[in-house]
Structure 1
């Protein structure tokens, strides 16, 4: 080891692996673990399923050096998102660099074509990147993209018309490759010629940049890339000769005339070639992946056919679960810590976004394809931050139209048994063929010709959370305590319910009410989701409606499960504290800790024994750890005594009335930062009150935009209206999903997520509810 590595070996920035006989060494001198040394993205496990191939990394070694690749590999969600956010420390300049160095023979071929692809938006550093990106954004606004929907619909429908009475097809060859390519050319304004030639060019470009072709293949691939470059230049010159044309490239040609120092000649040529690939290949592969995953789950496909409102959510979940973009690359411009490991200056980084999209720390039950998942939009398939894919909404539109046409016109579509093959490379993934079959006699339009044209359109952009709801049935209702109703919910078709983890909750949609309830049954119960509902006479009426109307057999809808109160299982000891109905998430945590063999104590306070839910089960399952404090019996939870001495290695989890949580926050002021984890029930004080608000301005440093936030709009709403994607969930200041970094300005904090110390730091806010105290905020977005 180097001396620096030795100094840090036991802490942050240290080696992730020690020991072994003469292990391989990373560039910083740190030993490489056997699994890291064996990792090769060109071998079968990664090529078939990159997320599964890196499960060991997510669980054990989230940042490791791969000697075979010569890259640092990063596999967890938070680490990859942090890299995306900091494009100064982690430069995108190598994003299009050949991952396998060209042979001299291949290089000579490229030179013979005067190949000179330089910077594009994908691999450009600041400040040039944002200067150019601003010039290119207008065509990607939702309003501009809406104009392309009729063309996409026509192309998909024509292709489907051609095969609908055949009964069998390879959807990749028949539809998924050509339609996105035609749409890309239409968007660019490029003549729709030489489709098959362009397909070969695109394959060559992918292998050249992200593949590992043999020396013989390198020459052949270089020929394809050189011809692609040559072809792109010829098309560009033709377009420049008749500037009256329409399309994105014509807009760029005009920008080139107006601002030749920003949109240069070489930039035009490079973007022409890059966009032809990027605008169609990623969508073609993503659509093939989506149909493969959906059709391999007939029950999910049926749900989609029965409820087409779920199509945007299903497309987004497929992008998360099996997106076409598997990985991106960066290079460290200085020594930088990622996930507790120091990546040295000059270290090349492979961010495996496919792995991040399966990180259980961010996505509940991540390996399940769940079309009801309402945080799928958090996926990193489109990247994140200032380099996020500009064409994401065009790709979404195409995938949705494909799904809408097929679910309406061929709901009886089936996936044939077949062996899937993939173009071997590190970064883009989708089956090379997708064979399906159906019985033309069952085509709905044979019975009703109107089916062919009965299309359903969707707004451009991310899916609406309001459309993502799971159909359930009330299986059982019983009193868990005085004024507390316990509900067991099941799938109407008798299928398994989604897996969930302690701390998870669901949004229950009953009548006109939407309410959040923690899951409180057994986490390994595969067929029931259970919640407990306290009747609140002073509430908004939702709990009273549930108590008075819900009966076994009644249908209802819910969103989730989702978890913003996740149990950290790495602590030495735990103190669990519940007040009243706050026992619901806490009991699931107690069950989990007992199963793990972790020491814990459980303190449960309530009005009376008769009003405290689950006492019998708690005494049965957790009697040794349980302390009860029924107020009617004179028992009192002495927080001062409980919290008097901070305990090393101990985490406190609490849920209950606001006064209890406030007392806990005050009582743990002397405990280590982060020791207390709480869940709030209400968003009191967080919701927008336009009559008492003032407008303010927000400067976005990454996007170089200035956004006005009106008195009657939240910051989150204003950011989205400006085209800036910010993840969110509760939108009430309770979950922390919409946190953004604050560079400058005084914050009016209204959330229930940040600690007092975090608020005092003035470096972050929850964009769904918090605002500026003054006239301006500067955000790192």
Structure 2
């Protein structure tokens, strides 16, 4: 039964001003909310304990994302935030929002339940989840090492071993409850192994973990509160006993043993009560969230057979599929904060003391950040932006262990049971605000079709696990070579189309794709040169380069009609800006015509004033000359060395014109010449794309170490002379997407708040470099060993 508004307001941490006439807890006169009163009929009806919320949280809050992104729910006593940008802003602003209520019981315990907890000496204190700065970051820094990608590699063999052993138990049965028979026990075993806990108490720990969730995030009635309190009290005592056993011998592996060793060195930071609380919270955090996330992912993929089939056929898609499943249907629905001062969120003033429920599941479906957010797309190139691990200084430390487990579980199941389907069933979820995973997951298959019966070698295959941030290099699709034709001397054109006829992602002039060349993982970037309006195929032209590093030579020798190639992208860091310029000069040298041709086509469609300059050694070596002449007429200017028609760019660009942009792609000498000619032009007038990056590998003898303050994460990271910024951030467990590692693709761009950057990429324009507010983490550094502050 709902409490009336006037009673529910008493649950707030601090009193809110109220309108006496309306009964609303908010002072309307001071309110800046775009929708008036934050307690609309839908806001008042919001109930995170009802089944509709747990069955589909994003759909349940669609109305909020669209109409009331911030609203107050009087029954719960919380302000609810539903949009991506607002949730991320709250996570990063630890000056305005405290995590102190993250483990607060959302349903106040009865006096009888409190007495039961007290009888067990229950004294849960602050943990990494719910403590403020500066205490939080001091502890986090000390305890981070076991969570780094390098340290987590040691757990991969155990995860693989357990996944295989558990599938072995039911592989020939034809039917299984994956939650009961695999997905609950394996993550618990791994969690205990990671913490350094013996497995002998596993059955009790499973029972207690559920009770802890209900106790903190659920809505138990008075009778259930007593039962839950008894289980939580036992959990507390068991955690203490395990900790005492570890203290007698803290040597060896395990995060809790590592914590005990850190306590010996820093007793004022890592205290007894802190370790006891973290022992209990760590079991829940390392186990339940991963078990639920895997169950959600398997259910989701089996409900989308095309995506499941793609994973089965191409396991290299699994790392990005994991990120997309976490975005689409993660195991952590919502998290909490409390406002430390009056603060504005999306035009609504939250008074100091306000309790906030951030529904990340809703933010992960916000179409303002994720295109076609309600579509499961395992090729989505920003799937890793999801908020399922939180963000900033309190982002989940165990995120990469969870990623590893999810990847290996999906690999094992897709390799050995590709014919698995969901059995008819109704899905049930534990009633609570924040954690979501089906209590059971029934699947079925025909054992006679098990691949390992026909080919035992299936059991020996494995896919490399990606530990760390999501890589856009993992966003791949398999396309069929629909056609190969020679378009000039030593230049072949490939037309690539989906084998199943589905539409390809839209792309814009200047975009490129990555082609996987051969079986050694060699990836090369090639600009798209077809018609962006053609959703049925992607078109590239590849020059056979005598100095090839393997890419172009492989394509010329091996690509044939009907072949299947792995393609990543499209991505665009050489965008053709359609606004802000009345006149466009397009310059191409040799194979650099590929992105420029698409730009010229677009300029013609828009009716822009443009001219196209194309330089080459001879007409025989210049691709698409006839097609370009037919399309652009006298706007095309050919500069052919063998015919003595060389371009005079110094004359062409002699007079700077603020209404003109110059786009160029070609060899380095051409781009250097254009840069010199445009030196007096506006900073952003010249836009170029390079064939390849110049920086090469670091030379530690010539580099200087520098320091980076990661503003959102609360960490200061040292970058030694022999490491890139990207490598140092990974080692500190900070997510940064990446791809080429050469300063060529722009995937690893980070936002710079202060400090002088030594730019070494070939992505940013001159104006962007001078602005100094972004850099490529894979290659650029701080000038003269200085200090940078990054928004990350």
Q: Structure 1-normalised TM-score? A: 0.77
Aligned residue in 1 for 2:705 = 696
2:494 aligned with 1:496: no
Match of 2:71 among 56, 65, 70: 65
Structure 2 counterpart of 1:228: 232
Deviation string, structure 1 residues 619-676 (Cα, Å, up to 9, x no partner) = 99xx9xx994536799999889995469xxxxx896656476897896445xxxxx98
Query: Measured at CA, do residues 744 and 567 of structure 1 come closer, stay the same or move farther in structure 2, by a change above 3 Å?
Result: closer
Shift of 1:577: 6.6
Q: In 2, Cα distance between the equivalents of 1:79 and 1:615?
A: 52
- State the alpha-carbon separation in 2 of the partners of residues 303 and 400 from structure 1: 15
Residue among 33, 48, 54 paired with 1:30: 33
Matching of residue 507 in structure 1 with residue 514 in structure 2: yes
Say if 1:655 and 1:99 are closer, same or farther in 2 by CA, change over 3 A.
Answer: farther
In structure 2, C-alpha distance between the alignment counterparts of 1:661 and 1:79, rounded to whole Å: 41
Instruction: Establish whether residue 746 from structure 1 lines up as the match of residue 749 from structure 2.
Output: no
Determine whether 1:383 maps to 2:393: no
- 2:440 pairs with 1:430: no
Report what 1:710 is aligned to: 721
Deviation at residue 416 of structure 1 after TM alignment: 2.0
User: Residue 771 of structure 1 aligns with which residue?
Assistant: 781
Query: Is residue 696–residue 775 contact of structure 1 (8 Å, CA) maintained in 2?
Result: yes
Deviation at 1:168, TM superposition (A): 0.9
Hey, what's the Cα distance between the residues in 2 that align with 1:615 and 1:94?
Answer: 69
Quote the Cα distance in structure 1 between the aligned partners of 2:238 and 2:453. Answer: 47
Question: Aligned in 2, Cα 1:697/1:655: closer, same or farther, shift over 3 Å?
Answer: same
**Residue number in structure 2 paired with 1:119:** 126
Q: CA deviation at 1:768?
A: 1.4
Q: Distance in 2 between matches of 1:218 and 1:526?
A: 59
Residue pair 1:716, 1:768 contacting (<8 A) in 2 also = yes
Aligned equivalents of 2:27 and 2:409: distance in 1?
48
**How far apart, CA to CA, are the structure 1 residues paired with 2:51 and 2:414?**
33
Q: What is aligned with 2:12?
A: none
Matched with 1:294 is 301
Is the CA contact (8 Å cut-off) linking 2:756 and 2:788 kept in structure 1? no
- After superposition, residues 350-499 of structure 1 pair within 5 angstroms as 350-358=357-365, 367-372=374-379, 376-446=383-453, 458=465, 460-462=467-469, 469-477=476-484, 487-491=494-498, 493-499=499-505
Matched, 1:187 2:197: no
- Is structure 2 residue 732 aligned with structure 1 residue 732? no
1:560 and 1:327, CA in 2 relative to 1: closer, same or farther beyond 3 A? farther
Q: Secondary structure at the match of 2:172?
A: coil
**Distance between the aligned counterparts of 1:65 and 1:679, measured in 2?**
47
SS at match of 1:32: coil
| Aligned: 1:282 with 2:286 | no
Whether the aligned pair in 2 keeps the contact of 1:23 and 1:33 (CA below 8 Å) is no
2:249 to 233, 244, 249: 244
Structure-2 separation of matches of 1:23 and 1:754:
50
Is the alpha carbon distance of 1:498 and 1:332 closer, same or farther for their aligned partners in structure 2, counting shifts above 3 Å? farther
Contact map agreement 1:189 1:250 (CA 8 A) in 2:
yes
Provide the residue aligned with 2:102 in structure 1: 95
2:565 aligned counterpart, secondary structure: strand
Residue 557 of structure 1 is matched in structure 2 by: 566
Deviation at 1:470, TM superposition (A): 3.0
Paired with 1:46 and 1:563, the residues of 2 have a C-alpha distance of 38
Q: What is the RMSD of the two structures over their aligned residues, measured on CA atoms?
A: 4.8
Distance (Å, rounded) in 1 between the aligned partners of 2:235 and 2:175:
35
- Tell me how far 1:240 sits from its aligned partner: 1.0
Distance 2:584 2:359 in 1: 36
Separation (CA, whole Å) in 1 of partners of 2:278 and 2:567: 45
Match of 2:164 among 157, 166, 175: 157
Contact 1:698/1:708, CA 8 A, preserved across alignment: yes
Cα separation, partners in 2 of 1:361 and 1:130, compared to 1, 3 Å = same
User: Which deviations, in whole Å up to 9, do the C-alpha atoms of 1:480-526 show, x marking residues without a partner?
Assistant: 899986542123x4242543343653212345864334446566755
Query: Cα–Cα, structure 1 residues 684 and 255, in superposed 2: closer, same or farther, change >3 Å?
Result: closer
Alpha carbons of structure 1 residues 660 and 382: separation in structure 2 relative to 1, 3 Å: farther
CA distance in 2, matches of 1:464, 1:226: 45
- 1:49 matched residue in structure 2: 56
Contact 1:481–1:614 at 8 Å: present in 2 too?
no
CA distance in 2, matches of 1:83, 1:677: 38
Greater Cα shift, 358-367 or 326-335? 358-367
Range moving further from structure 2, 131-140 or 281-290:
131-140
Distance 1:498 1:754, change over 3 A: same
SS at match of 1:290: helix
Task: Indicate yes or no: 2:216 matched with 1:209.
Answer: yes
Per-residue deviation, 1:276: 1.5
CA separation of 1:309/1:134 partners in 2, compared to 1, >3 Å: closer, same or farther? Answer: same
User: CA offsets per residue over residues 421-480 of structure 1, 9 Å max, x none?
Assistant: 333444322222211001223334445667556666646545776666433221134578
Where structure 1 has 5 or more consecutive residues not aligned to the other structure, the ranges are 1-21, 647-651, 670-674
Deviation per CA, 1:750-774, whole angstroms, max 9, x where unpaired?
A: 2345565654455543221212321
Secondary structure at 2:192 match in 1: helix
- Listed one character per residue, the Cα deviations across residues 22-78 of structure 1 (whole Å, up to 9, x for unaligned) are 9998873424279994353626665333445556766x56953344663251523x5
Tell me which residue corresponds to 1:7. Answer: none
| Higher mean displacement: 79-88 or 289-298 | 79-88
Relative to structure 1, is the Cα distance of residues 146 and 31 closer, same or farther in structure 2, using a 3 angstrom cutoff? Answer: closer
Please state how far the C-alpha of 1:776 moved relative to its aligned partner.
Answer: 3.6
Verify the 8 A CA contact 1:332 1:343 in the aligned structure 2.
Answer: yes
- Paired with 2:785 and 2:166, the residues of 1 have a C-alpha distance of 54
| Cα contact 1:699–1:777 (8 A) shared by 2 | yes
Which has the higher mean CA deviation after the structures are superposed, 140-149 or 130-139? 140-149
| Higher mean displacement: 262-271 or 354-363 | 354-363
The Cα of 1:267 is off from its aligned counterpart by 1.6
Query: Per the alignment, in what secondary structure is the counterpart of residue 232 of structure 2?
Result: helix
Figure out how many residues of one structure are paired with residues of the other and give that number.
Answer: 732
TM-score, normalised via structure 2 length: 0.77
Distance 2:648 2:39 in 1: 55
**Unpaired runs of at least 5, structure 2:** 1-23, 640-644
User: Taking structure 1 as reference, are residues 499 and 55 closer, same or farther at Cα in structure 2, changes over 3 Å only?
Assistant: farther
CA distance in 1, matches of 2:426, 2:441: 9
